[in-house]
Amino acid sequence: MLIKLTGGTVYDPASGIDGQQQDIYVQDGRIIDAPKDGRPVDQEYDLLGKVVMSGAIDMHTHIGGGKGNIARTLLPEDHRQDPVHRTPITRSGNGHAMPSTYVAGYRYAEMGYTACFEPAVLPINARQAHMEMGDTPIVDKGGYVMLGSDDFLLRMMTANKDQKAINDYVAWTLNAAKGIGIKVVNAGGISAFKFNQRKLDLDEQNSHYAVTPRQILQTLARAVQELGITHPLHVHGCNLGVPGNLETTLNTIEGIDGLPMHLTHIQFHSYGKEGDFKFSSGAAQIAEAINSNPNITADVGQILFGQTVTASGDNMRQHANHRFASPNKWVCMDIECDAGCGVVPFKYKDQNFVNALQWAIGLEIFLLVEDPWRIFLTTDHPNGAPFTSYPHLIRLLMDRSFRNDMLATIHPEAQKMTTLASIEREYTLNEIAIMTRAGAARIIGLKDRGALSAGNFADITVYTENADRQTMFTKPDYVFKDGELIVKDGEVVKVTWGTTHIVKPDYDLSIEKDLKPYFDKYLTMKLGNFKISDDEISEDGRGSLTAHPLRGAA
């Protein structure tokens, strides 16, 4: 079937197109050049006056994996606030802070998103992550596999194994757990907490393995680089949420020696300790460090006010923060000598000084980082806020007077501690398209996505131009996924199943000579049973795998 999208105003930064009126043709799920053979168009959409972008990509959102399900189970009262009815084509479920998987897929699609990436896939819990993502309809998905507090890596580092051996282990794990990148959370810190260390700074040794977070980050960043994985090492730094952690973050940027590194939810790592409350904004220094280090990318992890739940692998920091739990209940787990998790509900309040300043810090970082290709729009769903708040966040970035109106309502002392009012920048539609589409596809290494040029998959979102950007981005007119119309006027009209994006770096099979006896002796699963097979993703007929080439590969 030949589909023609006629006369829309196209924002396609990957192709250098910034608001030009042009037609787009779609056939067999892909975008094609205008046919020259006079074939008839089967379906035409008149998009005059509409804004056309590729489908949005959330490069960091917790939509799959055990911690999300703990969060769901923990918060029945939250679900009761947001029941979602079954329709003839969609399943019922629940929404808000940690929606059920079906609802997450529908709501992402209804906002114009066509791909979402789970950033904390514990290797031992990867099956669950893939099963949850497998029950998340419409959107494509993928995961970053979490290393850095796993016993095997730490003992390799203690034993001074060479980088080649570590690369083999990293590649083996990535293949076994079926991920597209490598994530590290509080490097070594989740492990340290199990030995009763309650904090771990960048150059502090894990008491058992005698390695430091800096060494772990360097080792894993090198592995990612040398294996040719496109997505840079995805780093949740040390000292999350600690006043003064700005210094740690700056040291982390400096300490990576120019290797590519993505700093996630950087808002939570950008705090000074100035002022009467010993808590201040480090946004300017962080933004300056990002601006001057082209190897660094970041997503913000914006907080927005209201009830949410934080769900993180960083149980060292989550345990420290449990006293702020609202409602007052929380879960921490140590997991399989591999990782951990902590789930702590939070209610961010605009009249709480710290929360209000956190809100301002996130926005300052967005607005002070100059290059939209290196900063990404996230709330670290659900940690900073549920993903459904993205249209509101987009308006805050695009509309200075709205932003300042909001600023005027927050805790007065926080207003005094932020330079937000003086920042004049307003994001353009093209910049929004970069940070939520083109840049995201590029940094994840997605081929054929995030752009509207011929040959790409036809993931396309169409909005009605509206000066109120929150309204505009809340309810797209049309969303196409792989060439099929799946959302019309902000509502799902067809349910499809996206693919799972992975990479398959090569490794020396002899790594299993070390791993097999290790599994037999210490772990609770046989090596062969640990590895996730392709058919586990695809056997129910909905899922599929898309392996992306490595950097430098043809």
Residues in contact with another protein by the rule CB under 8 A: 66, 68-69, 72-76, 79-80, 83-86, 91-94, 98-102, 124-125, 127-128, 131-132, 135, 151, 193-196, 208, 319, 325, 328-338, 343, 521-526, 528-529, 532-533, 535-536, 539-540
Nearest by Cα to 214 from 241, 184, 243, 194:
184
Cβ atoms of 406 and 397 closer than 8 Å: no
In this structure, what token pair is assigned to residue 454?
Answer: 């011929």
Least Å distance between CB 156 and another protein? Answer: 14
In this structure, what token pair is assigned to residue 341?
Answer: 């998790």
Least Å distance between CB 262 and another protein? Answer: 26
66 versus 450: smaller Cβ distance to another protein: 66
Least Å distance between CB 535 and another protein? Answer: 8
**Is the alpha carbon torsion for 425, 429, 430, 435 positive or negative?**
positive
91 versus 347: smaller Cβ distance to another protein: 91
93 versus 450: smaller Cβ distance to another protein: 93
Residues in Cβ contact with 474 at an 8 Å cutoff, skipping those fewer than 6 apart:
111, 391, 490
Least Å distance between CB 36 and another protein? Answer: 44
Least Å distance between CB 330 and another protein? Answer: 4
User: How far is 40 from 62, CA to CA, in rounded Å?
Assistant: 43
322 versus 447: smaller Cβ distance to another protein: 322
Least Å distance between CB 196 and another protein? Answer: 5
258 versus 528: smaller Cβ distance to another protein: 528
Torsion angle in degrees (nearest 10) through CA of 223, 227, 230, 232: 0
Least Å distance between CB 145 and another protein? Answer: 16
In this structure, what token pair is assigned to residue 246?
Answer: 């700005």
Least Å distance between CB 339 and another protein? Answer: 10
User: How far is 108 from 388, CA to CA, in rounded Å?
Assistant: 8
User: How far is 175 from 503, CA to CA, in rounded Å?
Assistant: 8
Residues in Cβ contact with 113 at an 8 Å cutoff, skipping those fewer than 6 apart:
55, 56, 57, 58, 139
Least Å distance between CB 186 and another protein? Answer: 16
76 versus 552: smaller Cβ distance to another protein: 76
Least Å distance between CB 158 and another protein? Answer: 12
Give the CA count within 13 Å in the CB-facing half-sphere of 337. 13
97 versus 433: smaller Cβ distance to another protein: 97
Torsion angle in degrees (nearest 10) through CA of 220, 186, 316, 307: -130
178 versus 548: smaller Cβ distance to another protein: 178
Residue whose token pair is 């590729």:
54
User: How far is 111 from 97, CA to CA, in rounded Å?
Assistant: 16
C-alpha angle with apex 292: 291 to 296, nearest 5 degrees?
70
Angle of helix 163-177 versus helix 511-522 axis, rounded to 10: 70
110 versus 399: smaller Cβ distance to another protein: 110
94 versus 114: smaller Cβ distance to another protein: 94
